[in-house]
Every structure is written in structure tokens, then in C-alpha cells.
Amino acid sequence: MKSGRLQTLINQVNTIINGTGMALPLNVITNKDLEEMVETSDEWIVSRTGIRERRKLEEGMSAVDLAERASLEALKAASLDPLALNLIIVATVTPDYPTPATSCLLQARLGAFNAGAMDLSAGCTGFIYAMTVGHQFIQSGVCRNILVVGVEVLTRITDWEDRGTCVLFGDGAGAVVLSASDEDRGIISHSIKADGRGAELLLVPGGGSAMPASLESISKRAHYIKMNGNEIFKFAVRVVEDTLEEMLRKEKLKPSDLDFLILHQANLRIIEHIRKRLKLPREKVPVNIDRLGNTSSATIPIAIHEELTAGRLHKGDLVAMVAFGAGLTWGGLLMKW
Ligand code: UT7
């Protein structure tokens, strides 16, 4: 047992991840492809971000299509009938529509008619926020099974004329089934934070009530992501370190106690910086940004699914997850797998 606090997981209702799934579009965009579109180079993109390629969802498909595929895989892995779900939470900044929520569309696709459904918008921290919300419903006894999905179709809100952002983002989905369990494992602690003073650092200005769609908003390219990359970079390094430090300190744990540190995939330089500072070996800090780019709220559930299906993540492993993003938001989750 790695800490006294973990002992308290015994003999109470715990929240475990009971099944995972992921879905990616088939369409690959390489750095070479981007060289044809904007003034950039494979060398710049790889050295500044670590990204080599990303996925782009086929026309005619939308967030719910990816979410459905990832969810069906997670439900199958959990051996759970969709009718046993009590709640569906979809974390996304690229819903199918402003209203209704993508989670409602997903509920209908899955036939999960006993589940409430809501979307959650917390930028790239969406998955951590959604897991935290789901955990509260299980802890309170209100729900036994919750589907949490992180899904993004960021290529639809990417400005393909802005080299500062278009090289970064990709599409994808990851899903997990959260279940109530009396096993001695599950979510140990969590932390969700925000600082709205940084809202303008990462923003899609058009399409909401502040700037409804108009010919003018379209001509200003206001429906695409605008980002101050430098500021977000500095913020990210700071909050990831602080969040992790706080979560570990609370549980009297050290970074070396971790079997996995799953970080939001926004830039390989951020991931490597944290990994080296904490002196963690590469195999404990999974990377998918090289193949998938930044898929926002989907980066962490995709990484979990990949580690699990590759046979590297085992029952009892201590796993920390930390994310940051638009809002500004950030947060972390500690769990015993
Ligand atoms: O998911 C959460 C949200 N996003 C993030 O976490 C992103 C965090 N930020 C970052 O990852 C980095 O800041 C970026 C990858 C976005 C940018 O890297 P950087 O090292 O901060 O570059 P920079 O913005 O300071 O730009 C350096 C130079 C500039 O040229 P000058 O002014 O020095 O002549 C840019 O115009 O690189 C230029 N540049 C590019 N050059 C080639 C910017 N984008 C590109 C590009 N190709 N794609």
C-alpha cells in the first residue's frame, strides 16, 4: 500500500473505470500536407510541438459519430447494457449543435434511455471536469454507471490560414464507463480549477451570444480558434506542476510512487519538461500528440485506452491525470486502477 489515505478506499463506494474506448477518423493530415497549405515546415512543427500527424473527421460526420464509436467500445469492455447507464456526460468544445447537447444525441444513438445527459464545456480540461462530476454522482449514491466521453472535432473550428494554430489540433474521441464498486481501488482525489481572467488567451470569438454569426463575423474569421500560444505555454507548465504537487502532497505520495502520469497532450515540450523535472521514465508518461495532435478533451481518455489495450496499465497501478485549457481551466485526478 502506497499511502495511508489509499487505505480509506476500502469498505466504501468507490468510483472505478470499468471500460474504455476510443475512436479516430481515418483521414490523416501530415506535416507535409500542412506545408502545402501555410508557410510552415515539418522541422518547425516537430521541434516546437512534437506533432507529426493528426486526424481530420470526414465531411458529413460530426462529434456524435466519434462519440458513439468510442462509447460502444467502452460499454462492450465494461459488459454493460446501455440501459444500465444512469448518466452520460460529454466533454466537448465542438458539439454537433449549440443546442441540443451532443450527449442527448449520443443517448439516442446508444438507446441509453434510462440515462440523463449533459454536455460539459471546460476546454481541454473537459475530461477531468466530467470525471469529477461523474464521481460526485457515484459517491452520493445517485448513480451506479456513468458514461464519460471526451470528443472533439477541432478541425472544424481551426483556421487553416493561421499557421500558429492550424498545425496543432486534431479530431478524436475517448470514452470511459464509471461504475460504483466496493473494490479497494478507484478515484482517490481530484482537483478542478479555473481563472476566467485568462478567457481571451484561448477563444472562439464568434458564434455565441456575444457575436452571433453574420456576414461580418465570417469575414473576420471569428468562428475559428484564436490563441496566445506563448502565454498558454507558461500557464500550462505552472499549473500542471502545481496541481500534481498538491494532489500528491495531500495523499503523502511522491512522483516516484506513480505508475502513470497521463498529461493533456498540447505540446511534447510541455510533457517532456514535466517528465524530466519529476524524473519519471518515458514509459510512465504516455504520448499520443505525435500521432494525433492536440485532441483537447479527448487526449487523456485516448491515452488511458491505449495504455490499457497495450497491456501496460494494470489493476492496482497508481495513475495521475492532469489537464489545462481554455477558460482558463485546469485540473487533475488521482486514481488507483
Ligand atoms: O490545449 C491547450 C491549448 N494550447 C496549448 O497548450 C498551446 C501552448 N503553446 C504552444 O504549444 C506553443 O506556444 C506553440 C506551439 C503554439 C508555439 O510555439 P512557440 O515556441 O511558443 O512559438 P512562437 O509562438 O513564439 O513563435 C516563434 C516563431 C514566430 O516567428 P518570429 O516572430 O520569431 O519570426 C512565429 O511566427 O515561430 C513562428 N511560427 C511558425 N513558424 C513556422 C509560429 N507558428 C509557426 C509554424 N511554422 N506553424
**Rounded distance, CA 255 to CA 237, Å?**
16
Cell for 87? 448518466
In this prediction, residue 64 carries a pLDDT of 98
Q: Which of 124, 135, 145, 190 is catalytic?
A: 124
Return the CATH class of domain 188-336. alpha beta
Q: CB-side exposure of 181: number of CA atoms within 13 Å? A: 19
124 is catalytic: yes
- Measure 243 CA to ligand 1 centroid, in angstroms: 25
Cell for 251? 495523499
User: Amino acid letter at 190?
Assistant: H
Identify the residue whose cell numbers are 500560444: 229
Nearest Cα residue to 204 out of 231, 222, 229: 222
In this prediction, residue 272 carries a pLDDT of 97
**Domain residue limits, the chain:** 4-184, 188-336
**Cis preceding linkage at 301, omega within 30:** no
**Rounded distance, CA 258 to CA 163, Å?**
37
- Measure 163 CA to ligand 1 centroid, in angstroms: 8
* Protein residue with least CA distance to atom 7, ligand 1: 229
pLDDT(163) > 60? yes
Residues 55, 24: contact at Cβ < 8 Å?
A: yes
Name the helix (H) or strand (E) containing 248: helix 229-250
In this prediction, residue 9 carries a pLDDT of 55
pLDDT(126) > 80? yes
Nearest Cα residue to 227 out of 266, 265, 282, 179: 266
Q: Which of 143, 264, 267, 305 is catalytic?
A: 264
In this prediction, residue 11 carries a pLDDT of 47
Q: Residue 12: which pLDDT band, with cuts at 50, 70 and 90?
A: confident
pLDDT(80) > 60? yes
Q: What is the dihedral of CA 264, 237, 185, 103, to 10 degrees?
A: -40
pTM of the model: 0.95
In this prediction, residue 138 carries a pLDDT of 97
Cell for 20? 474504455
Cβ contacts of 79 within 8 Å, gap of 6 or more: 19
11 is catalytic: no
Q: Residue 312: which pLDDT band, with cuts at 50, 70 and 90?
A: very high
Task: Give domain 4-184's CATH architecture.
Answer: 3-Layer(aba) Sandwich (3.40)
Given the DSSP bridges, would you call strands 260-263 and 318-325 parallel, antiparallel or unpaired?
parallel
Given the DSSP bridges, would you call strands 145-153 and 87-91 parallel, antiparallel or unpaired?
parallel
In this prediction, residue 4 carries a pLDDT of 47
pLDDT(212) > 80? yes
DSSP H helical ranges for 150-228:
163-166, 215-219
pLDDT(1) > 60? no
* Pocket of ligand 1, beta carbon within 6 A: 40, 44-45, 48-49, 124, 163-164, 167, 202, 229-230, 232-233, 236, 266-267, 294, 325
294 is catalytic: yes
DSSP secondary structure, 187-199, as one string? EEEEEEEE-GGGG
* Protein residue with least CA distance to atom 44, ligand 1: 164
- Measure 71 CA to ligand 1 centroid, in angstroms: 34
- Measure 228 CA to ligand 1 centroid, in angstroms: 9
pLDDT tens-digit readout, 228-282 = 999 999 999 999 999 999 999 999 999 999 999 999 999 999 999 999 999 999 9
**Rounded distance, CA 84 to CA 147, Å?**
10
Mean predicted confidence (pLDDT) in 185-192: 96
Q: Which residues pair with 19 in a beta bridge?
A: 177
From 125, 225, 233, the mutation candidate for ligand 1 (largest count of ligand atoms within 8 A of CB) is 233
Burial class of residue 116 (count of CB atoms within 10 Å of its CB; 0-12, 13-18, 19+): middle
> Which atom of ligand 1 has the smallest separation from the CA of 269?
11
Residues 67, 120: contact at Cβ < 8 Å?
A: no
